[in-house]
C-alpha cells in the first residue's frame, strides 16, 4: 500500500451484525475482546514495539475504521499505523502477586471502556511489567476487527517478527490476506447461483422448525461482564 492509499469497502456480514448491535448500545464495551500473554523473561521493549508496528502495518483489519452512519456503513483501511505499545511498570509493594493484581485491575478498567469504531484504532497494546523478569503483553481488540482465532494468529506473528528482528534475520511475509478480498468474496457469493442453492437446501431442512422470533420480541442488547 502506498503512503497515501486508502481503501474503502463494505462491511462483511459478520462485521455489519457487530456494528448494528454496537449502535443499539453505543456505551457498552461488550464487544471488547482481550487477552494477555505471560512473558517470563527479559524483554527488549523497543524491539517488541517495532515488531508490533510491523504486524499492524501488514494487517488490514487492524488499520480499519467504520465510516458513515447510514443504513450501509463502509469501512476504510488506511496506510498508517495509529497506536503503539504502551509500557506500564506496575512493580512495587506486594511483590509479583501485587503487581499482577494491579495489572488485572488495569486491564479490567480498559476493557470496560467503549470503543468508537469510527475513530480507531480498534486495538490497544500494552506491556505491563509485573516483575524484574516478567511482563504481561496486554492485547485488546474490538470484535468488529478480529475474532479469537485471528488474535492467536496476530500474537504468533508478533513473536516471530520479534525473534527475527533480534537475530538480524529478514522478516518473512505474513501470509495474511487482504480484507478487500474477503469482502469481494462475500459479495460474489451473494450475487452468484450458490447462494440460491444453499437457501433452497436450508429451507427444506428447516421447513418444520418453529417460526423465528420477530425483532420486536428480541431481548435488549447485551451488556459487559463476561470473563
pLDDT tens profile 146-198: 998 999 999 999 999 999 999 999 999 999 999 999 999 999 999 999 999 99
Q: Higher-confidence residue: 135 or 79?
A: 135
With respect to CATH, is domain 7-178 assigned 3.30.559.10?
A: yes
Residue 92 DSSP symbol: S
Question: Looking at the predicted structure, is the pLDDT value of residue 1 above 60?
Answer: no
Q: Which residue has the cell 448500545?
A: 25
User: According to the model, what pLDDT value does residue 219 have?
Assistant: 57
User: According to the model, what pLDDT value does residue 73 have?
Assistant: 85
User: According to the model, what pLDDT value does residue 170 have?
Assistant: 96
Rounded distance between C-alpha atoms, residue 110 and residue 115, angstroms: 10
Q: Quick check: 107 and 36 in contact, CB under 8 A?
A: yes
Pick from 3-7, 32-36, 55-59, 97-101: least confident: 3-7
What distances in angstroms separate CA 196 from CA 147, 200, 204, one per listed residue?
A: 28, 6, 12
CB within 8 Å of 38: residues ≥ 6 apart:
134, 136
Local confidence band at 13 (pLDDT 50, 70, 90 cut-offs) = very high
Cα-based angle 65, 66, 68 (whole degrees, multiple of 5): 140
Amino acid at each position: 500500500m502506498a503512503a497515501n492509499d486508502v481503501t474503502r469497502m463494505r462491511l462483511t456480514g459478520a462485521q455489519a451484525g457487530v456494528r448494528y448491535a454496537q449502535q443499539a448500545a453505543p456505551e457498552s464495551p461488550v464487544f471488547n475482546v482481550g487477552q494477555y500473554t505471560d512473558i517470563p523473561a527479559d524483554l527488549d521493549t523497543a524491539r517488541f514495539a517495532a515488531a508490533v508496528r510491523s504486524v499492524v502495518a501488514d494487517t488490514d483489519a487492524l488499520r480499519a475504521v467504520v465510516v458513515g452512519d447510514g443504513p450501509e456503513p463502509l469501512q476504510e483501511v488506511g496506510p498508517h499505523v495509529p497506536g503503539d505499545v504502551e509500557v506500564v511498570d506496575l512493580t512495587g509493594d506486594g511483590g509479583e502477586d501485587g503487581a499482577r493484581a494491579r495489572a488485572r485491575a488495569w486491564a479490567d478498567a480498559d476493557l470496560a471502556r467503549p470503543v468508537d469504531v469510527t475513530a480507531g484504532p480498534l486495538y490497544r497494546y500494552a506491556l505491563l511489567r509485573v516483575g524484574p523478569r516478567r511482563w504481561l503483553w496486554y492485547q485488546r481488540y474490538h470484535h468488529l476487527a478480529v475474532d479469537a482465532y485471528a488474535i492467536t494468529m496476530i500474537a504468533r506473528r508478533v513473536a516471530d517478527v520479534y525473534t527475527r528482528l533480534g537475530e538480524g534475520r529478514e522478516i518473512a511475509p505474513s501470509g495474511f490476506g487482504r480484507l478487500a478480498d474477503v469482502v469481494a468474496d462475500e459479495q460474489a457469493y451473494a450475487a452468484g447461483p450458490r447462494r440460491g442453492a444453499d437457501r433452497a437446501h436450508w429451507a427444506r431442512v428447516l421447513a418444520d422448525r418453529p417460526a423465528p422470533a420477530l425483532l420486536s420480541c428480541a431481548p435488549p442488547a447485551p451488556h459487559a461482564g463476561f470473563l
